[in-house]
Structures are given as structure tokens and as C-alpha cells.
Amino acid sequence: MVQYLYRHNILINAENSFGFNTSTEASDKTNFETNFKASAVPISSLELGESVFAIEKNYTDFKSLITSPITWADVRYETLAYFYILYLLSDNPL
């Protein structure tokens, strides 16, 4: 069975963040923490099936995937030292 993993990284700590648009990252971080983090599910690891297409999305495009019947409760996220990593796993392409 093929699965589709949609993913986005949000910069948490702008210290030593060469190459990032820190203004955009700060806005994305604030938006996620204020509006969606409480509904998303924190995880420490992610186990994937045998066949997975990994699709990297920017934050705006990632948020646009969260439409009925998908909710932020379907989103998983890891908290690392410098990033939140958001995941949305689907059996169908979105």
C-alpha cells in the first residue's frame, strides 16, 4: 500500500539560522503555536510503511491540505532543537 507523507519544517530558534528568512519563519512559528499546535499530535518518532512518497510543502501549502475531513488532529509534529517538523500521512494523494 502506498502512502503519502506531507511534511514541513518550522524554524523554532533563529539563532545561527543562516539561509532562512527569519521573518517568515517567525510568522509561521507564531501562527502554528497560536492556532494549531494544541490540536496537532506531538510525537517522538514516525514509523512509515514500505512505500511512501515524501512531499515537502511550504507552510502555506501545508496548511491548505488541512480541509475537511482532515483536521489538525491528523497532523503529527516533532519538536527538535531548532525545528518543529510537521507531518501529515495519507493513503491518497492530497
CA neighbor of 4 nearest in space, from 68, 65, 67 = 65
Please say whether the dihedral angle defined by the alpha carbons of residues 92, 4, 78 and 47, taken in this order, is positive or negative: positive
- The alpha helices in 1-72, defined as continuous H runs, are 22-35, 59-64
pLDDT in tens, 27-58: 999 999 999 999 999 999 888 888 999 999 99
Average pLDDT, the chain: 93
